[in-house]
A and B are shown apart, each in its own frame.
Chain A
C-alpha cells in the first residue's frame, strides 16, 4: 500500500512538473547574458527587457493591445452584464436562445471566426484598426462575462430587488443601488477575464491584423515563427507576470466573496 501511494505521489509530481516547468523556464531565459537561448543561463542581464522597451514596433504593439484590452474589458463587461440580467431575470421567451448565442463564441473554432471576420471586415475597413479589434474581442470575451455574472445573479436573492421596487425605486435605481453592489465582485472578475481574453488573444488577431495595427500577441507570434530572439522571453515573462497578477487578484476577490 505504501509503495502504491509512493508511486502515485511520484507520478502526480511528475505531471505537476510537466505542467509548471515550461512556463517557469521563460524567466531564466529572459535574463540570459548571451544572444543564444541556453540553460542554465550564462551571466545575467536585463538587456532583452531594455531592447523590448526601446523597440518602436514592440512599443506600438503593446500600446495598441492595452488600449484594445481595456476598452474590451469595459464594453464586454457592460454588454455581458446586461445580457446576463436578461438571461437570469428576464421573462422573454428567447432566454435560452440568447444564452446559447452568448456562449457560441466559445464553441466556434477561433480560426473559423478569424477567417469569417476577415471576410466581413476587410471590405468595410475594419481590419488592422481599433474598432475591428474591439468588436472581435468583445464577442470573444462576452461568454466569460456572461458565465461569471450569471452565476452571481443566480446566487443573489431576487427578493431584495423586489423589496427595493416595492419601496418605490425604479428598475434602474434598484439595479444600481441594490443589485449591482451585490454582484460587484463578479462584475470585477468578469472585467479581468475580458481584459485577459483580449490581451492574450492571438488567433483572431492573426487574421485581422495588418502592418499598421498589430497586437502584442500578433507580434509575438510573428517573432516566434521568424525571429527567435531572447526579447521574446522578456516579453513573455512580462505577459505572464501581468496575467498572474490579474488572476491572483481575482482569486483574492473570489476568496472574499466566499467568506
Chain B
C-alpha cells in the first residue's frame, strides 16, 4: 500500500522519533517532563493554551449557532450571501486573515482610528499582541468550522418536528429549546471538538497577533526550536501537546465523527 509506505516515512517515523527524543539519551529519562511540570511558567502556558481554546470554542458556538440556524433556514439570495460570508474566510489562507487582523488592530489601524475619531477614546489603545487579539483572530479563523457542522445537522432535521411541536401548542421559543436544539446537538459536538482541537495546536495566528506574554504551547515549541535550540525540550513539549490532543479526541470520539465534521466543511 503506497499510503502505508508514505505515512511510515513521512508521518509515523518522525512522530515516533520526536517522542523518543523527549525521553533523552538514556531510555525513559523523564527530565524534560519534570521540567515542564515543575515550572509554573510552562504549566501556565499549557493552561493558557487550553483556556484560550475553550474560550474560542465557546465564542464560536455562541455567535456561530445563530448564523448556522439562519444558514439552514435561508433561501434564495439571502442563502447565497450567508454561504459566501461563511465560506470565503474558510477558503482564505490563515496567514492572510491574521495579516488582516494585524492591519486592523495595530496602533495606527482602522479600529483605533475609528475609536479615536468618534471620541470614544483619547489615545490609541494597544490592541495588537494581546490575549484579546489572539482570541478575536482565532475565533474569526475557526468559526466556520463551528458553523458548517451545525448548519448541516440543522438541515437534516425534518421541519415536520417543529411543525408538530407548534401544532401541539408550543411557542416558537419552546419549540426551539425542546425540539430543534436537542436534535442539533451532534452538529454542535462535532463543531466544538473540531474548533477545540484546531485551537490547541494553532500556531500561525498566535505567533503573528499574540505578544510575548500571550504565549501558547505552539509558539513556545517554535521558540524552543528556533531561538533557544533546545530540541529535547521542544520534543517533550510537543509530546505533551500531542497527548492532550489525543486524550481530547479519545474522550469525545463517541460524540463525534471527525470525518463527518470535516466532510461538512470540505
Residues of A participating in the B interface, judged by any CB pair closer than 8 Å = 1, 8, 11-12, 15-20, 22-23, 25-26, 29, 36-39, 78-80, 82-83, 86, 98, 101-121, 135-136, 138-139, 142-144, 147-148, 150-151, 193, 196, 200, 202-203, 206-207, 217, 220-221, 224-225, 228, 232-233, 236, 239-240, 243-244, 247
Contact = CB atoms under 8 A, between A and B. Distances in A.
Chain B interface mostly helix, strand, loop or mixed?
helix
A151 B3 contact: no
A236 B97 CA distance: 9
B3 A98 contact: yes
Interface residue range, chain B: 35 or more
Contact of B231 (A82, A119, A240): A119
Given A120-B13, A203-B204, A244 B88 contact: yes
Contact of B2 (A20, A82, A103, A105): A82
B1 A116 contact: no
B264 to A, nearest CB: 10
Contact of A139 (B11, B101, B201): B11
Contact of A39 (B13, B110, B143, B262): B110
Contacts of B67: 12, 15-16
Contact of A142 (B3, B201, B202, B235): B3
A18 B3 contact: no
23 contacts: A1-B172, A11-B66, A15-B66, A29-B103, A80-B3, A82-B1, A82-B3, A86-B3, A105-B11, A107-B197, A107-B258, A108-B242, A112-B238, A116-B17, A117-B14, A119-B231, A135-B6, A138-B10, A142-B6, A143-B262, A224-B102, A236-B93, A236-B100
B63 A15 contact: yes
Contact of A26 (B94, B96, B242): B96
A115 B3 contact: no
A49 B259 CA distance: 39
Nearest to B18: A116
Interface of B: 1-4, 6-7, 9-11, 13-15, 17-18, 21, 63-64, 66-67, 70, 81-82, 84-89, 91-104, 108, 110, 113, 140, 143-144, 172, 197, 200-204, 207-208, 217-218, 221-222, 225, 231, 234-235, 238-239, 241-242, 245-246, 249, 258-259, 262-263, 266
Given A116-B14, A196-B91, 12 more contacts: A12-B67, A16-B86, A19-B140, A20-B84, A109-B201, A110-B201, A111-B222, A115-B18, A142-B7, A224-B99, A243-B93, A244-B91
A112 B18 contact: yes
